[in-house]
Structure 1
Amino acid sequence: MVQKLALAITIIGALNWGVVGLFSFDVVAQFADGHAQPFARFFYIVVGISGLISLGLLFDTLRENEVEHVAVAEPEEI
């Protein structure tokens, strides 16, 4: 549950940075009346922590892909 919430927050933060890159408009700074305001700084910190938590999802996926595949011999029909 925590990882899913962190992933959602990370995606929202990424969308904000996409808007900053495309249109030079920071949605969070607009709502907080500036990027240095406490609310904006808090949101940026939450997005950063969420990104770190989301790294766990990446490593879980990589770990699942490393599972060894064991060949199972089928019994011959008699």
Structure 2
Amino acid sequence: MYKFNLLDKISLVLVIIGSLNWGFIGLLNFNLIGTLLGEPVNLLGRIIYILVGAASVDMLMLIFKMKKPFKQ
């Protein structure tokens, strides 16, 4: 079984934050990150969006790391 390292745990938290933000945007037309950090999105907001995107790439790679080869 694959053990999560610190980067994977941080990535998971960032992906959850990003998905909650998208849920709020879709359901309530409310941008949580934009509201907390100011609209229009400033440099800090852009950095958070970039980190959430990078975290999603890490989570995709985690899926492939967790796959075990088929054993006969």
Q: What TM-score do the two structures reach when normalised by structure 1?
A: 0.76
One of 1, 21, 25 as aligned partner of 2:30:
25
CA distance in 1, matches of 2:17, 2:71: 36
1:43 aligns with 2:20: no
Q: What TM-score do the two structures reach when normalised by structure 2?
A: 0.82
CA distance in 2, matches of 1:12, 1:67: 34
Q: Percent identity?
A: 30
Q: Secondary structure of 1:25's partner?
A: coil
Is the radius of gyration larger for structure 1 or structure 2? Answer: 1
**Cα offset for 1:36?**
2.6
1:68 aligns with 2:68: no
**Corresponding residue pairs, total:** 67
1:4 aligns with 2:9: yes
Choose between structure 1 and 2 for higher RCO, CA contacts under 8 A separated by at least 6 residues: 2
Q: Secondary structure of 1:44's partner?
A: helix
